[in-house]
Each structure stands twice: as C-alpha cells, then as structure tokens.
Amino acid sequence: AATLARPYDESPILLAKKNGTTPNESTTYDVCEDYEGNYRFAPIEEAQVSRAMITRYFNMMYERAVSDVVIVGAGSAGLSCAYHLATTRPDLKVTILEASVAPGGGAWLGGQLMTPMVVRKPADRFLQEIGVPFEDEGPFVVVKHAALFTSTILSRVLALPNVVMMNATAVEDLIIRTDFQNRQRVSGVVTNWTLVALNHDTQSCMDPNTITAPIVISATGHDGPMGAFSAKRLVSAGLLKELGNMRGLDMNRAEPAIVNGTREVTPGLIMTGMELSEHDGSNRMGPTFGAMMASGIKAAREAIKALDS
Ligand code: AHZ
C-alpha cells in the first residue's frame, strides 16, 4: 500500500524508534525496481531530507564540541593516525577536520600525475592491516592506484563508530590556554566553514566556532595555501621561534626523520606527516608514502601516551 510522506519527525518508523515500540502502520512503500520504465521510489518530502541531515550533523557538532582528540587534516598521515588511534582506543572521541570538500590530501595520486603509489618497507604492514593489495618489489611495494589506498583507509576510518569527520571545515586558529604551571597549552581548535575562512578579507567579520580537546594532532601537510597551518601559527603565537622550513628532497633521510620526529611539539599539540618538515626543517621525501602511514601511527601512539599520563 502506498504511504503518504509526512513530516520527518512524524514518520511511523522514527516515532516508533523514539517510543521504543513497533511501527503500527505499514512501513512497506509502493516502490518498484523496474528498469524498463516503471522505477518508483518511496515517497519523500523535501523537509524530510533536510531534517535527516540537520538533526544528525548538528547533533554530531553538539556532541563533538568537546572531543578527546582532534585531527586537523585528512591526508595520508591524518587518516593513518585516525585509523590507528580509533581502533586502538575505541573509547576515544576522535574528530577529524578537513578543509577541502574531498578528504585525502595529496594521496589520490602517487607522484606528478601518475597513479601508482610507492610504499617502502616495513610500512607495507599497514597496507596489509587495512587490506590494500600491492606488488612486492623487494625493498618497497607498489599499490596499483593511490586512490585504492586513500579510498580504503577513508572507508575504514569512517566506518568506526568513535570517528567523525567534518569536511569543508577549516581550522583557522588554535585555542591556547595558560595551564596552572603558567605554561601555554594547545587545548582545542577554532573552526569555520572553509569558504568563510578563505573569504575573511572580503566579508565583514563572521565569527568562528570552537572544539576543545586535550590533544590536537596537526597533519596539515607542507606549506601551501592552508598547509603547515599549526607550525605557522605556533610561530606567530610565540610558541616556536621560527619555522625550520622544509629542505630539499632526500628520500633516505626524509622518511625516518618524519617518523622518528613525530611528537608533541608543544604541550597539547602533536604534529605528524609533512607538516613536521616545515616545523623541524627536515627533508622532503617526494612520492613515497610509507613515512606518512608510520608517522600517523606514531602520532596516535603519542596521543595515547599523553592522554594516559
Ligand atoms: O586540505 C588539507 C589536506 O587534505 C588539510 N588541511 C590543511 N590545512 C588545514 C586546515 N584545516 C583543516 N587549516 C587542513 N584541514 O590537510 C591535509 C594535508 O594532507 P597532505 O596530503 O597535504 O599532507 P600529509 O602530510 O598527510 O601527506 C603529505 C604527502 C607528501 S607531500 C610530499 C612531497 O611534497 O615531497 N611527499 C609526500 C609523501
């Protein structure tokens, strides 16, 4: 039997869910999966679609206004970090903020416009853990398309119940408080829709929002329009004397330097991925991605240590 669409919060399924009862009206809709010209959808009102998104999104923002860990940037380092952190500690509320509409950072391609992704051993273990196939070339492995890694890690991360991601949302400042020992401590982030953050010079002030968290993990990549965000802010806030500035490409020096240098660079702020090369002045590694995965894992471990201390 056809059921007329009704206001979203009066739908029999939602009302029954809310009251803990079984829907007493028929919840079978007059649908038809006929691709020869008679395909019919269940009925809907536009407001149902809006409310389905609004209630979930704004409830999520409400709940995550206080998070356990905020990860800034969903490139290969930020996503690897999120996966390790959220699977190791399912009790933690892990909130990822990504300035772009499309998460993934530079990891949709291998190098230049080429699609294969090179990962040096032993970081291939992470690919095995998340289920990304590769070809073994001895000291390194090759994933046939970088997007296979990025789409897999994204789907793994987003399926975790303790992870949320807000994309098209930029971190435009850090919350920096003075603790009881008179030390400056990063205690959260200041956020805005990216389109607003990019247009502050053309609009009158549109104030931001905040998310507080005892640990912020910055994974915003090397310098660019938004990259190296926290490293640069630490300098202007007087918490870092000057940027180290990323040095020239040297794969053999760069990858271990990034992984082993991943740490809490200032109280409350852990830095991972290529942003660290700007903070520390370490080398660029170019199109080899193992260090991003291993640095993300190290950042997650550092976060757990800091939260447990
Ligand atoms: O959109 C950015 C990207 O997805 C996001 N981001 C930057 N600033 C942000 C902000 N708020 C929210 N203020 C922000 N999000 O951070 C992500 C960074 O991803 P990435 O791929 O640029 O960095 P990564 O460190 O994860 O990976 C680097 C990969 C590179 S670059 C490189 C080289 O140039 O030599 N080699 C490798 C392996």
Is the CB of 176 inside a 6 Å radius of any atom of ligand 1? no
Per-residue pLDDT at 201 exceeds 90: no
Q: Which of 175, 217, 226, 250 to mutate to test the pocket of ligand 1 (most atoms within 8 A of CB)?
A: 226
Nearest-atom index, ligand 1, CA of 295: 25
Task: Tell me what the mean pLDDT of segment 32-58 comes to.
Answer: 93
* Ligand 1: centre distance to CA 248 (Å): 18
Is the CB of 286 inside a 6 Å radius of any atom of ligand 1? yes
The confidence score (pLDDT) of residue 27 equals: 61
**How confident is the model over 212-230, as pLDDT tens digits?**
999 999 999 999 777 899 9
Nearest-atom index, ligand 1, CA of 221: 23
Is the CB of 3 inside a 6 Å radius of any atom of ligand 1? no
Per-residue pLDDT at 68 exceeds 90: yes
Is the CB of 255 inside a 6 Å radius of any atom of ligand 1? no
The confidence score (pLDDT) of residue 10 equals: 62
The share of the chain scoring above pLDDT 90, in percent, equals 82
* Ligand 1: centre distance to CA 101 (Å): 13
Per-residue pLDDT at 141 exceeds 70: yes
Coil vs helix vs strand at 246: coil
Per-residue pLDDT at 59 exceeds 90: yes
Is the CB of 224 inside a 6 Å radius of any atom of ligand 1? no
User: Cα separation of 278 and 299, whole Å?
Assistant: 17
* Ligand 1: centre distance to CA 54 (Å): 29
The confidence score (pLDDT) of residue 1 equals: 45
Q: What is the ipTM of this complex?
A: 0.99
Give the range among 6-10, 69-73, 192-196, 246-250 with minimum mean pLDDT: 6-10
Q: What does the DSSP assignment read for 117-152?
A: EEEETTTHHHHHHHT---EE-SSEEEES-HHHHHHH
Is the CB of 290 inside a 6 Å radius of any atom of ligand 1? no
Q: Whose CA is nearest to atom 38 of ligand 1?
A: 289
pTM: 0.93
| Residue 65 CB burial class (10 angstroms; 0-12, 13-18, ≥19) | middle
Query: Terminus-to-terminus CA distance in the chain, angstroms?
Result: 60
Task: Tell me what the mean pLDDT of segment 17-24 comes to.
Answer: 72
CB 213 within 8 A of CB 188: yes
Using pLDDT thresholds of 50, 70 and 90, give the confidence band for residue 103.
very high
Per-residue pLDDT at 6 exceeds 90: no
Per-residue pLDDT at 277 exceeds 80: yes
Coil vs helix vs strand at 57: helix
